[in-house]
Amino acid sequence: MTTAEPTLDRRELLESMVRALGRRHEVLDAIIKANDRDGAQAAVQQLLEIPADHVEAVLALPLWRLNQEDLRGIQKELEDVNSALDWIAPAEKEVRLRPFTDSDTDRGLYRDRATEPRADGSTLHAADEVDAAIVAGLARIADESAAWFVAEDPASEDGRAVGLVVGELVNGEVEVRLWVCRDCRSQGFGTSALKQVRRELAAFFPGVNLVVRTPIGTPK
């Protein structure tokens, strides 16, 4: 195991916890409506789209920690972990971001994401709905209420695409969703893309709070 791997694992857990605390009212509603612990686990996992072991950490979180101070504390720890990754993340896993375009290549990348099964077997879109979702997304980009990016591997000869990052302006906040191609995961691409897109979106939406939600989902 490399030095970066435990830090990456911790970062992913912290992101899940921040997401859970940020949506704590929805999490509590999902738990209350469940029939048993298994049902609560499934409901929270579907709501937050996080790994099963992260769901266990959310369910084990004491109620007294559902406050603004603890949320800020976890966010600060997440910032510290991301800062540490600046030093230990392998340089060959850096990504290059470019705007999403109405091209066959980018449409195919979005289609791969939209039709990939989630943990519960569902997909973001049915296969026959993907083209309409792309058209709607491009319209939001034109209206400057969204910014989509393709993450590329600059170390590859052809600059292959390794994922998508989507920023959507929703209720005065920018929801950021990240998706990495299946064969490119656990290699540091997601970490690099997430750090870079924060700078890009801060320029696109100055002064607007960024809320990271992974993987990519539909704007609400």
Residue whose C-alpha is closest to residue 87's, from 195, 212, 202: 195
Q: Which domains does the chain have, with CATH numbers?
A: 4-88 (1.10.268.10), 92-212 (3.40.630.30)
> What is the average pLDDT across 192-207?
82
Question: At residue 66, what is the residue type?
Answer: L
What's the predicted TM-score (pTM) here? Answer: 0.57
What stretch of H or E contains 161? strand 161-170
Q: pLDDT tens, 131-165?
A: 999 999 999 999 999 999 999 988 777 778 889 99
pLDDT for residue 210: 73
Between CA 188 and CA 158 the distance in angstroms is: 19
33: which 2 tokens?
């409506």
pLDDT in the model for residue 99: 94
> Is the bond preceding 6 in cis, omega lying within 30 degrees of 0?
no
Contacts of 4 (CB under 8 A, 6+ apart): 85, 88, 89, 90, 188
pLDDT given for residue 11 in this prediction: 67
Q: Closest Cα partner for 110 from 141, 82, 80, 79?
A: 141
pLDDT for position 82: 61
CB-based contact 192:26 (threshold 8 Å): no
Residues 6-64 pLDDT 10s: 445 666 777 778 788 788 888 899 999 999 989 998 998 888 888 888 888 888 877 77
What per-residue confidence (pLDDT) applies to 198? Answer: 81
